[in-house]
Amino acid sequence: MKRIRNIIRYVVIVILDVFIMYVFHSYINLLLLACLLLFPFYSVYGLHKVSQEVKIDVLVPEEPMGKGEEFQVRFLLHNPTVFPLVNVTLSLEIKNGFYGLEGAHFLNLPLRARKDTRVFYPVVMEHCGRFEIKVRNIRLTDLLGIYEKVVPIEAERECLVFPLGSERGQEAGQMYRRGVTEAMESREKGYDFSEVSGIREYIPGDKLQNIHWKLSVKKDELMVKERISVSAMQLNVLVELCNDDQMRLESVLELADSVTKAFVSQNLPFTVFYYSVNQGNLRDCYIGNEIERVQWMEMLLYDRCYMGEGRVEELFLQQNPSGGTYLYIGAGLGNEDAENTIFGDMGAAAQLRSY
Amino acid sequence: MLFGRKKKEEPHKGDVLLAQGIYLRPPVMDNGHLVLNCFLRSLIVFLLVFGSIGGFLSAFNISYHYLLVLVMYFLLSMYFSFLYATPKFVYRDLGYILFFSLFLGAIYVFRIYANSGFYVVINTVLARAQAFFNLEGVRDYEVQINNDYLTVAIMAVFVGMVMIIILNIWIYSSMSLVWTLFLTFPLQFLPLYLKLNMDSIYIIALSIGYLSVIVFKANGHYLAFAWDAPFHVRGLKKNRITYTQDAGIFRQILTSLLILFFCMVIIMETVFPASAFDGKFKNDRLRESTADAVSNFLLLGFAGMFNRYQSTGGMSGGRLGGISNVRPDYQPDLIVSYTPYSNEAIYLKGYTGGAYGDNCWESIYPETAADKADDVAVFEEESLKKEGLQLQRLFDAQQKYSACGVMDVRNVGADTAYLYYPYYTIFEDYSVYHNHSMMSSVQGLGYQEENNYLYYPKVVWEDALGEVRPDQIDTSRVEEVYLEVPEKNKKVIEKECERIGLTAQMTENEIVESVRTYFADNIPYTLKPGSTPRNEDFVNYFLTRNRKGYCAHFASAATLLFRNMGIPARYIEGYAFSLETALASDENTTKKYDNYYQGYSSIGRSTVLDVEVTDAMAHAWVEIYVEGFGWKTVEVTPGSAETTDEDDFWSAFTEFLNGANDDDTQSNSSGQLSLSQYRWLVNVVLAVLFLFVLVYLLKLLIRKTVRILRCNQKNQREAVIASYADICDMIRLCDQRFNSCRSHKEQMLYMSAHYCNIENRDKLCEDLEQISFSQAEAAGNVLDSLSAMIKKVRKAIWKKEKIRNRLRLCKR
């Protein structure tokens, strides 16, 4: 419709110019007419050239961002031709891959000639998850708005947005103590229920006690012992990724973030279990340090949440029928066993359960 | 908080929802971009105004201070463009107020410069038009300051200033091509009509301006007010986001257009020059068919567009009512050499009107002349041969107050259809003037032709001429037509006689004096009485409604009044000039007094003067028949207080502001341009405004009525749905964030949070969803409770919203 309107407008102007030229015998209008007749060719030719050369790049932060933090999505449109375009429409798909929330919209941008057009798109995510942006195509419109061309371009980027859990160190520590008494006692005595599985370079955040001092002196750089827990009494943490309309999973993730962060900061190893929709079964992940925790969180956010009944606890019990204690983090838990429960927002809670 | 309530934090105010939970934040405005953006946008306005006004001046080859105009246009364009870059509306408004204060000051200080510049342009245009149309009588406006180079520049700055202000608004708000063309192109019509081409640079500037507007209009990206977010959400579904803050594209488009147009114009002018183009058209229908109208417009302005014939003063041959004003050109029409002999004005007779009808004084010559003798007899009667011979006899008898003079009348610009001779001229051969159709220019005084007249002036009217009652006049000695009053005028004339107080007992002199006094006291003289409306009688309109006029009005009315009272009277046109005018003229030393005057002179012996009789001295008066003597001139036109007919816009503007033109009498007597004649224009503008308001109110009324009907329809279920949609619209209008509430649940949650607590929200929400999306029957109480909730929310919206939002709601 807009194109038709633009065509009509332009034709009316040309007719008006011809009329004035004819009626007034005006040379000025002849010049104007020549320009008016040439301009559409210039405009369409320019569009054609641009459509052959145009490139787009989308950039998002490589590091995971925190929930509610603003981050920049950058669009870089490269037009090496000498023809500028005023209207280039990007067809965009924006998605939170974890929650499966998506939206599509069009972004109109100008496209400069012989230069990159950079547009910064400040985005903020209200929920944690996986921010995905995809450019499906670019619709180029000529200067007069009378001719369009769609250039199929696939550009896709994603960025993880982590939950920002609050400091729950004390509560989490107590909970751990109750859940893994043996492990706690041993740790206090200086024992460690773990074996060295390998040696690697130091990464900031590694615990001091894991540094292999002798080797570090020899190699003149810090080396760290990688450990595997051999304790049979590790705490199992079950995270329920079941969502509902009220988005209570957000609180669950925040609580899980708080609790696991607290465990790691207190050197308390644990195994996290969650139901992976991508794999269709229970996944577990041993976490002994912050890197492992972050990797777990990334892995979790690359997965998807699910709606309906919770699955993780049921599957865990099926796979571990021998009994024990585990920490269940989910939503909609009752207040009956308040002593063994850490409460989060919107009904989310971490509850120590035995079977 | 000590000093007030803390504002509730609004988490995503101003954000654009991209997907659920993902928002686009408004980025911080880049001031550099904004400034550059404003600068480049101002360039479009600058190019258009410079191209338009500069092109006009260049077409007429008027030189002016280019630098001053360029700099001022540039600064003004920038100034108004940057007003839109200010982050708050109040700054913009203050900017406008500041500018208008300066503008008023400047207009006052430079008014004479601007006026002079304006007149220089007008004079140049008229001179070109004079050459183009071969016009005569084009007046030259007096320029007070002779520095044309500067005055034209100042005038151009003032005109451009107004254009920039208006154009800037339209360019910024909607990139309106219509307004752009409307404001800039009409100025080019006159040069185009007069076959004048503007310089190439202006063509390029205008073309770039127009094409820029077309391009940006077609593509958007032109909204970049400082208060707008760089990402502008558009589209019905709100899913189109436009990035508006890119100055680079403006620069590139302008540069591309400049290069393209420059090359194109150069190539065209080389390959196909203007001289080659001119020969392509064989006929010129436009100019042939409109030359009269355009030349009339150039001479008389807009008033000339409505004239049925042009009037720059001079003779009209008895035609009345077609002109709205008289604008003499003050150029000499006749050169009269004579010797003054009294204080009385000299009348040179040109045309005699007999019967009155159809707004015209018909010629006294018969339509079809039976033979030559008939015409000669009429001419003898018209030229007062009998009276002249009587005075000649007195002079020959050396009567005390008798005299004889010679008058040379040379036509240098008067209508060649008429003779112009003094009263009581004795022609050598009356039979020469036999053609009754004087208008055919056969018998008139040709251009540069000179006639010498021998006349016997009646210097002193010592006897009691006219001291008889009209019924004592022997009317058998005059034609019946001189006593005719048309039926359509009868009533008005009789009423006017009553009003003046004329009675049958009064003598001729008393009647004449009463009419003269009444006119002087009650009806003002003006050269701009406005044209007589179609289907209106000239005299009736003058006496009943218009009550103002110039000599033709007074003479026509008086002629009919006298006739009605039984005095034979006729309408005369010609030229009249006073003794003062004569004395201000050049003395002709080559001509001897004795050859030009003999006999009694009430002012003593003087000298021969060459009097320049201009078209402003064209006049109409009355002749009445005096028993015992014959025809005698009667002057009934009151003296004019008009000192000048210069159209001084500033004076008129001041007068207009002072409200002086409420009374035409006052405005005209001040001698300046009367804006009252443009009252129709004001009325038209007011009518258009009124129409706009009316249409707006009507639309509003229709919208509101449709909405009320929809919300109160018989089907209660549909009414509830419509009412709910209506309150959602209301909230959307007040707060765009409501758009992000997609479900009824979210919407109600929002309503609860912002307006009033909705009890049983979940239940109501469920009910609403049920009646909205399913065909299931809804219980009456469910609908009632929903209606009550909607009413409550509606009430709360009106109560809690700010006045600004309430106004928005009113305008829905």
Q: Are A70 and A124 in contact (CB under 8 A)?
A: yes
Nearest to A277 by CA among A230, A248, A312: A312
Q: What is the ipTM score, two decimals?
A: 0.80
Give me the pLDDT at residue B248, please: 77
Rg (CA), chain A: 30
Among B12, B243, B742, B746, the strongest candidate for a mutation testing the A interface, having the largest count of A CBs within 10 A, is B243
CB contact residues (below 8 A), chain A span 45-104, against chain B: 70, 83-84, 86-87, 89, 94-96, 99, 101-104
**What is the rounded distance in angstroms from the CA atom of residue A283 to the CA atom of residue A238?**
10
Confidence of residue B163 (pLDDT cuts 50, 70, 90): very high
Q: Are B479 and B522 in contact (CB under 8 A)?
A: no
Q: Closest partner residue to B220 among A32, A84, A87, by Cβ?
A: A87
Q: Does B543 touch chain A (CB under 8 A)?
A: no
Give me the pLDDT at residue B245, please: 66
Confidence of residue A278 (pLDDT cuts 50, 70, 90): confident
CATH code at position A58? 2.60.40.10
Work out how many domains chain B is built from and give that number.
Answer: 3
pLDDT at B569 over 90: yes
Q: Closest partner residue to B19 among A89, A101, A111, by Cβ?
A: A101
Residues A248 and A267 in one domain: yes
Nearest to B383 by CA among B367, B401, B366, B364: B364
In a domain, B643, yes or no: no
Give me the pLDDT at residue B139, please: 64
Give me the pLDDT at residue B380, please: 86
One-letter amino acid of A344 = G
Give me the pLDDT at residue B494, please: 92
Residues B260 and B397 in one domain: no
Mean pLDDT over A88-105 rounds to 90
Domain containing B171: what range?
33-228+246-277
Q: Please give the structure tokens belonging to residue A112.
A: 């400069």
Q: Please give the structure tokens belonging to residue B87.
A: 């982050």
Nearest to B560 by CA among B453, B469, B640, B636: B636
**What is the rounded distance in angstroms from the CA atom of residue A125 to the CA atom of residue B723?**
34
Confidence of residue B660 (pLDDT cuts 50, 70, 90): very low
Q: Closest partner residue to A86 among B211, B249, B268, by Cβ?
A: B249
Among A19, A35, A130, A253, the strongest candidate for a mutation testing the B interface, having the largest count of B CBs within 10 A, is A35
- The alpha carbon of residue A26 is apart from the nearest alpha carbon of chain B, in Å, by 6
Q: Please give the structure tokens belonging to residue B400.
A: 């005390």
Global pTM value: 0.56
**What is the rounded distance in angstroms from the CA atom of residue B69 to the CA atom of residue B58?**
13
DSSP track, B66-90: HHHHHHHHHHHHHHHHHHTTSSSHH
Nearest to B735 by CA among B13, B7, B9, B11: B13
pLDDT at B439 over 60: no
Give me the pLDDT at residue A355, please: 72
Q: Closest partner residue to A87 among B203, B211, B219, by Cβ?
A: B219
Residues A42 and A108 in one domain: yes
Q: Closest partner residue to A28 among B193, B198, B219, by Cβ?
A: B198
Q: Which residue of B has its CA nearest to A85?
A: B249
Residues B626 and B547 in one domain: yes
CB spacing of B203 vs A30 below 8 angstroms: no
Nearest to B315 by CA among B572, B534, B106: B572
Domain-ending residue, one of B634, B652, B667: B634
Percent of chain B exceeding pLDDT 90 equals 18
pLDDT at B570 over 90: yes
Give me the pLDDT at residue B8, please: 52
Give me the pLDDT at residue B555, please: 93
Domain containing A205: what range?
194-230
* Residues of A in Cβ contact (< 8 Å) with B211: 35, 39
pLDDT at B441 over 50: no
Residues B593 and B736 in one domain: no
Exposure letters A209-230 (e unless 16+ CB within 10 A, then b)? ebebeeebeeeeebbbbbbebe
* Residues of B in Cβ contact (< 8 Å) with A13: 177, 210, 214
Residues A332 and A184 in one domain: yes
Q: Does B697 touch chain A (CB under 8 A)?
A: no
* Residues of B in Cβ contact (< 8 Å) with A90: none
Give me the pLDDT at residue B36, please: 74
User: How high does pLDDT run on average in chain B?
Assistant: 80
Residues A34 and A89 in one domain: yes
Residue B698 CB partners (closer than 8 Å, separation 6+):
none
CB contact residues (below 8 A), chain A span 206-245, against chain B: 245
Give me the pLDDT at residue A63, please: 85
Residues B377 and B524 in one domain: yes
Work out how many domains chain A is built from and give that number.
Answer: 3
Q: Please give the structure tokens belonging to residue A125.
A: 């995510």
**What is the rounded distance in angstroms from the CA atom of residue B750 to the CA atom of residue B741?**
8
Confidence of residue B23 (pLDDT cuts 50, 70, 90): confident
Among A1, A105, A138, the strongest candidate for a mutation testing the B interface, having the largest count of B CBs within 10 A, is A105
Using one digit for the tens of pLDDT, what is the confidence trace for B512-561?
999 999 998 888 888 777 777 767 888 988 888 778 888 889 999 999 99
Q: Closest partner residue to A105 among B188, B240, B272, by Cβ?
A: B240
Residues B257 and B341 in one domain: no
In a domain, B731, yes or no: yes
Q: Which residues pair with B347 in a beta bridge?
A: B576
Q: Please give the structure tokens belonging to residue B416.
A: 């060649």
CB spacing of A112 vs B218 below 8 angstroms: no
DSSP track, B470-481: GGGS-GGGS-GG
Nearest to A247 by CA among A98, A94, A123: A98
Using one digit for the tens of pLDDT, what is the confidence trace for B725-770?
888 888 888 887 787 777 788 888 888 888 888 888 888 888 888 8
Domain-ending residue, one of B634, B664, B680: B634
CB spacing of A110 vs B248 below 8 angstroms: yes
Q: Please give the structure tokens belonging to residue B553.
A: 């009005």
Residue B643: count other Cβ atoms within 10 Å of its Cβ: 10
Confidence of residue A189 (pLDDT cuts 50, 70, 90): very low
Confidence of residue A229 (pLDDT cuts 50, 70, 90): low
Give me the pLDDT at residue B219, please: 82
Confidence of residue B324 (pLDDT cuts 50, 70, 90): low
Domain-ending residue, one of B579, B603, B634: B634
Q: Please give the structure tokens belonging to residue B784.
A: 């009632």
